[in-house]
Structures are given as structure tokens and as C-alpha cells.
Copies of this chain bind each other. A is one copy, B any other.
Amino acid sequence: MFFELLKTDKGSQARLGRLTTGHGVIETPIFMPVGTQGTVKGVDPDELKRLNAQIILGNSYHLFIRPGLDIIRHLGGLHKFMSWNGPILTDSGGFQVFSLAKLRRITEEGVHFQSHLDGTALFIGPREAVEIQRTLGSDIMMAFDECPPWPAEKTVVAEAVRRSIRWAGMCKEAHAGISAGPTRDQFLFGIVQGGEYEDLRRECAEALIELDLPGYAVGGVSVGEPEPEMMHAVASTTPWLPVHKPRYTMGLGQPHQMVKMVAMGVDMFDCVLPSRIARNGTAYTRTGTINLKNSTMKADPGPIEEGCRCYACQNFSRSYIRHLLKAEEILGLRLVTLHNLHFYLELMAQIRAALREDRFGEWSGQFLKDYRPKDE
């Protein structure tokens, strides 16, 4: 069985679950570190294991463009290429095609676009997205969808919803065609679009459920919308998703947002923030983010966060890390990245422990009281 729902919280929709893949078992709720170009930025696979990362994410669009499928096929797939033998989820490329690529032209078969690197003319449609992910060999693959910008007129979003539904069907067909091969253990997730429109979210969810896919994601979020709109989009989707299948909000979110989404019944998250804000010297703590470049850190002998068990906090002072960041030394970026990834992964471990011990309501109440979000 791919997904087991082990427990549902009494006071919320929060769920404890288990995903079984060909590369390992994943306890949910889970955060997936993002390995855009075949590496979680600045972190090696041994460090990921020491961080207790259970699954990581790879980006089809980026890997398709560079190094390209021929190379990854020749090297034996993404797991072997990047020397990560745990589970991998790949996105379909849809999000990047619509947010990063240039000169798009959409047809019923897919999207013509130009590489953001060198302008090469390329094409990805639902069949190609499945083929790319088959070559990558990910454990969970995502359907190819149309991700409209925010804000967008309802007619535009409705068209994207209906196309995404048709494309999901084409993905399922393409996936079925390879189901007898060595990639039979690749689980295809559908992506619910619909922007801020509740009826479109429901329409999309219900149509995708008819495809009976092994998991479902909330897409069309993390596209620049304010937090209330984002939370509303998730809240407008999860009620229509099947209880016995995993739910994944794509590209989300900040710690307090993830805690709230867990309470809404979300099982899986991915987000570039832990790595991205590390590049600016910003670190997560239980009370919110702090910037290690601040002059207040200059002579601070304490760790980034007292009590934190990450490699950075166990070995280095704020003062030293600030020095590294100011001197633009790679180790500074590495240490803040490790801390932030640890924070996200540890947050999920705490959520799972609270769910297991029937104290998620209490735990999440305390966390949300302590954590003061800033606009990152």
C-alpha cells in the first residue's frame, strides 16, 4: 500500500501517515528539501541523511534543460546521478515553464517555450513530462499542469483548470503505458488548480479524483499571492480531496503556514525558503527569523538557536557565522542552510510526535503563539 493513514487528529484535520516507495518509507507530515538542479543547494547527500531528510524534490524543467535527459539516462537516473538513494519527488516542469521560460505558446498538446538559459526552442506537454520523469526515475511524479499567474481573471483560470484536467488524463495514459517497465513504482500525483476561485478548485479536484491517482497536490499557490489568498486556496481544495490519499501543497511554505496547513490536512510540503533566506544570512528560530549579519551578532558567543541540535548550532557561534557571511565565505552559507533545513525537518518531526501522542492541538497552539512571522 502506497499511503497509509495512521491517525487523524481529534481537534483538526491533521493526519499522521506513511508513504511507502521503492527507495524507502516516508513518515508524514513531511517537508521535502528542494534539489532544483540535482543538488539541494550547498548540501551533500550525507548531510541530507544526517538531517534526517526522508525525501527530496527534483525539478524536471531544470534537469531537462541541463544536463539534459541523455546524460541522466546514461548515468542511470537521477538517484544514481546525484548519489541519493532515498525517495525523490519530481515536479512536472509545468510551474517553471509558466514562471521561468520565455516566449511560451500553449497548444492542446503542451507548451512551446524557450530555455531561460540559452533560448533553445523546447516543448513539454503531458506525455513529455511523464517521459522526462520516467527517465529521471523519481518515486513520485507530478502531472503536467497549466499554472496561471496571480492575479488572473476567472475565465483565464477556468481555462487553465480545464486544460490541466485534460492534461492530467493524458499523463495518466502515458504513465499507464510504462507501468509494466522498471518504473512501475513511480506514483503519479494530480495537481489541483483554480486560483482563488472556490468553485474552480472544487471542479478541478473532483475531475482529478475521477482519475483515481495515488495522490493530489494543491497547485497555483506560491505564485506571488498574499498569505490570506494562499491559505484560502488551500482551504478551498483540501475538503474535496480523498481522505485516504496523500495531499501535497506545492512550493509551500513558511513555518507557521505549514503548521496551519497540517491542521487543514496537508501531508507534504516543499519550499525553497530555508535555502533561499540562508543566502541572505537569515535563520529560523522558534520565535521567528533572525538575520545573522546584524551587528548585534558581532560578538555573540551563542549558537543560532539555544537547544538546537543541528551541526551549525552544535559547533559554531553566531559571531563566527556572521564573520563568515560578511567575508562571503561559503561555509557561512552552508551552516545557515543546514540550520534552516534542520529547522524545517525538525518542525515536521515535532508535528508527527505531537500527532502520535495526541497533543497536536496544544503543540501547534504553542508554536503559533511563539512564532512571529516576518515577510521573507
Q: How many residues of A contact B (CB 8 A)?
A: 39
A151 at the interface (CB under 8 A from B): no
Total copies of the chain: 2
- Are B333 and A330 in touch, CB under 8 angstroms? yes
In the complex with contacts A319-B81, A320-B82, A39-B329 CB distance below 8 A: yes
- Are A41 and B324 in touch, CB under 8 angstroms? no
- Are A331 and B75 in touch, CB under 8 angstroms? no
Query: CA–CA, A70 to B323, complex, Å?
Result: 13
Q: Contact mask A285-307 → B, CB, 8 Å, 1/0?
A: 00000000000001101000000
In the complex with contacts A75-B301, A301-B75, A42-B315 CB distance below 8 A: no
Which of B39, B315, B329 makes the CB contact (< 8 A) with A331?
Answer: B39
In the complex with contacts A83-B320, A319-B81, A327-B66 CB distance below 8 A: yes
- Are B83 and A44 in touch, CB under 8 angstroms? no
Query: CA–CA, A326 to B38, complex, Å?
Result: 12
Nearest residue (CB) in B for A324 is B39
How close is A326's CB to chain B, nearest CB, in angstroms? 7
A365 at the interface (CB under 8 A from B): no
- A298: which B residues are within 8 A, CB to CB? 67, 71
Which of B38, B316, B326 makes the CB contact (< 8 A) with A83?
Answer: B316
